[in-house]
Copies of this chain bind each other. A is one copy, B any other.
Amino acid sequence: MAAITTRPRTTVAELLRACRADLTPSELLVAQALLADYPAAGLQTVAGLASTAGVSAPTVVRLVAKLGFPGFATLQQRLRAELSARSAGPVELYPEPGPDGAVTPLLRRCQRTIGRAVTQSLRELDPVELDRAVALIADRDREVVLTGGRVSSTHAEYLARYLSLLRPGVRYLQPDRAVRDAALLDVGRRSTLVVFDYRRYDDEVVEFGREGVRRGGKVVLFTDRYLSPLASSATVLLTTVVEGPRPFLTLTPALAVVESIVLGVVEASGPRLRRRLESFDRLTAREPR
């Protein structure tokens, strides 16, 4: 991310269509080639684009100039910027233009995108990685500390609430600097840190994880496929698809993985857990409905 993601007001494609009138025949060929495989065609070299359009390099350059760019490089920059804007934060791509005018019904879009994200994430989840996560979390000789970013911390809390039923030594840390710092004091070789960090990645969360590792802890990291900076320090990496109904990200797949882990911990814990759950039952079911 970073850089100047100043979204240009008009896209290259729009420019192309607008100038269509005063282009020479050969230049039109270039424009067509450009739009036919947009934006990939524009990201090759001038010679490459010229050859796919069936014209010479100078023709491409002249078109570029006609569009108002100082050079081919600038056009490419613009193309890349458009590309980046598609997967940036909610605001950048907020307009939700609806390419073909008609906006698909809310529910239908959610069905498609979220449903797919969940199934795909579960399908692509590495079983070995999942087992390692379960092992680190189920181990009763380790304490488990959970936290996450401003939004994803609710996932941490969700997991924490389940885990508290399943074993002792579970701590959820609110997304707060002071809380996390204090907790770090007790982090050591026997600590499992479960961290949720999705785009945009949270510096404080990353720093928490890094410091935890420095103190000997192991990190189970939930993140998206673009990997939080903390990924390099993580012992176990659990990635999920986050592309939801535009312009939003979805954390539903992440929750699916969380629940998978809960089940894994249950199964790893054996009969001792059964007694624990029964005991909990007696506590909560004091007044039967």
Binding site for B on A (CB under 8 A): 1-3, 13, 17, 20, 25, 28, 31-33, 35-41, 43-44, 52, 76-77, 80-81, 83-84, 86-87, 89-91, 94-96, 98-99, 102-107, 109-111, 113-120, 122-127, 130-131, 134, 150-151, 154-155, 157-158, 161-162, 199-201, 203, 225-227, 229, 231-232, 237, 239, 241, 243-245, 248, 250-252, 255-256, 259-260, 262-264, 266-267, 273-274, 277-278, 280-281, 287-289
- Known A43-B83, A104-B131; further 15 A-B contacts with Cβ < 8 A: A1-B41, A2-B52, A2-B288, A13-B225, A17-B239, A32-B231, A40-B84, A43-B80, A86-B90, A91-B116, A94-B120, A98-B124, A106-B130, A106-B260, A155-B158
Contact of B277 with A241 in the complex, beta carbons under 8 Å: no
Cβ–Cβ < 8 Å partners of A106 in chain B: 127, 130-131, 134, 260, 263-264, 267
* Cα distance, A243 to B89, chains bound together (Å): 9
Interface residues of chain A: helix, strand, loop or mixed (majority): helix
Query: What residue in chain B is nearest A175 (Cβ atoms)?
Result: B161
With the chains together, A68 CA to B80 CA distance in Å? 24
Assess A259 versus B105: contact at CB under 8 Å? Given A91-B241, A120-B94, A288-B2: no
